[in-house]
Every structure is written in C-alpha cells, then in structure tokens.
A = this chain, B = another copy of it.
Amino acid sequence: VSATIFDVAKLAGVSISTVSRVLNGRDRVHPQTRQRVQDVIRQLDYEQTAPARTLATRRSEMLGLVIPRVNDPYFYEIVRGVEDATSAAGYSLLIASQPRHQGTSRNLKPFRRRFVDGLVVVAIDVAAEEVHELLDRGVPLVLVQMTMGLEVPAYTVDNYGGARALVEHLLTEHAYRRFAYIAGSHYTPDSAQRLRALRDALAEHGLALPPGHVVQGDYLRGSGYKAMLDLLALNEWPDVVFAANDQMASDALLALRERNLRVPEDIAIVGFDDVHLASYVTPALTTVHQPIYELGFEAASAALRVAQQEKPIEPTQTVFPTRLVVRQSCGCA
C-alpha cells in the first residue's frame, strides 16, 4: 500500500542506493539529485519501514525498559523520565513490566530478539548471565535502583545518606528516643540501606531499636496500615515511626487517625521518597527527597548516548544525592 524505496527510486530516476543515501545523510550525493529525491519522498509521503531497516542495520531505534508492574507512582515518575529522554532522542520506548518478584527471569529475551538499542532495567531481579550477555553484545544496558557489581553501570540514590540526615533530624531537633521502622519489600536493597542508616545513627547516640520495632511492609498501598497496627499492639509505643517510603507512611497516618491518635503529638511519622502524596496528607510528611524523574532521565540518556555513538558503555556507578524535606509530621511547625 505505502510507497517503498523502490517507488521513490523509480520516480526520481535513481537507484535505491541513492535514495538510501539521501535518507541516511551519509556519503556524498549531488545536490540536485538529493533535491529531486527529497521532492519525490515528499510527494509520495514515503517513510522507511522500520523492521526492514532494523534487519539490515541491527539497530531498532527503540529503547527497552524493564520495570516492576506494581502500581506505584514512584515508578511512574521513573517511566516519565525514561520516556522524555527517549523521545528527545527520537527513539521509541518498548516496555516490558514484570511482576516485582519472580525468581530467575528470562525477561530480557524479548529485547534481544527485537534489537533494542539500549536497555534500562529498573529494580528488577534479572539473571546476571543475561545482563552480561547483552553488555557483551554491545547493547548499552543501565540499571536503575539496583546494582550488580562494578562492571554494570548503575543509577542509584544515596539512601544511606538521606536516611541518616532524616534520623539525625529526629534525634537532635526533636529528641525522640524510641524509634520504629516499617520496612519495604525485603528483596530490594534500599529498605535495608535505610534501616542500616537508622541503626547507625541511633548507635552513635547510644540508642538502639527496641525489639519488635521493625515491622515488615512491602512499599505498596495498604501495607503501612497493617504495619502501624502491629506497632500499636506493642507494650511500649514508639515516639516516632520511620516508614521506608511515603506510601506506607501515609497509610500509617490513616491507621493512627482511625485510632484517634494525633500525629505528631502522640506518635510522629516520617517517610522516604518525597512523592507528591507526601505533601497532600495531613500532617504533611517529613521525608527524604530523591530525584526520581532525573534517575530515569539520566539513565536512559546515558544508554542512548552510547547507542548513538556506538561506543562501549562505561560501567559508571552514579549515585544521586538525596535531601531532607522537613514538613509537619515529624513535629516541626
């Protein structure tokens, strides 16, 4: 139905090689020939067929994205960043979202078969073998919110530093002593890093987490509510609850309100991430900001930069800074 490169060539009175040359802007073409071909292209509304080109060049002008399928605005922000970088480069985005936890995975195969020019893998367990295979083939692959050792490029945020700053604030500005922690899913490293920061900061002040004051959540909607109820079942309540993300902190808020407990007067709550929700709940959450959109944008940009220059990718480890955001849920005015 549509015009092919043969149609263009015939009408312009040249060979398809020449059409291909003006299409790709490589090699020299006589200005008049070029003009003639371009006119015909416009006239026929011709456009290259992507798979034919991909087959010949092994490049698809698509960026692949692997991301957990969970319904979390946090991941949406990453997607937006990846997307913006991708369209800015004139690429298309091919998405495969995955159940968050799924043992060994062959999720990268579809991307191999489709010749994606780059791949961004977000917070997903992928087989090291597959990652290295892609990297070895020269497919620029970058990790976001996870690392796989120094040989694989990764974009993460300073979870430890952010959590540390948050806890220091709670210790020095508010003099809280009894802390509790609502953990995120256990198979991601960030919750563990944030917990470690909490423990270290407490230790420096001669404190420790009381037994039973670390409860398990999963980062998702609802789990913070249940975790908070577990905490309220303890003999001695904490002064302050540090939830591993804002979603769980917000759900904890809901649990406390139901029990007619006041935040921060009875129990203070803090979160992590600084997603939009954090500033809409009451009291607004004190939390740690991380540059979520930028994480996605920079990771994708890096992969695309490499793809477009055909250079091998450097296994750079990029750690974005985080920043304490003080609102009211910690007890500040």
Contacts and interface: CB of A to CB of B under 8 A. Distances in A.
Interface string A52-91: 1011000010100000010101001101100110010000
A92 interface: yes
B92 A93 contact: no
Given A80-B69, A87-B97, A113 B281 contact: no
Q: How many copies, total? A: 2
Nearest to A109: B47
B282 A49 contact: no
Given A1-B137, A115-B51, A280-B281, A69 B94 contact: no
B96 A84 contact: no
A150 interface: no
A9 to B, nearest CB: 18
Contacts of A71: 76-77, 80
7 contacts: A50-B115, A73-B73, A87-B97, A92-B114, A94-B94, A280-B280, A281-B282
Interface of A: 1-2, 47-52, 54-55, 60, 62, 69, 71, 73, 76-77, 79-80, 83-84, 87, 92-97, 109-110, 112-115, 137, 221, 250, 253-254, 276-277, 280-282
Given A71-B77, A93-B96, A94-B94, 9 more contacts: A1-B137, A48-B113, A49-B113, A49-B115, A71-B76, A76-B76, A92-B96, A254-B280, A280-B280
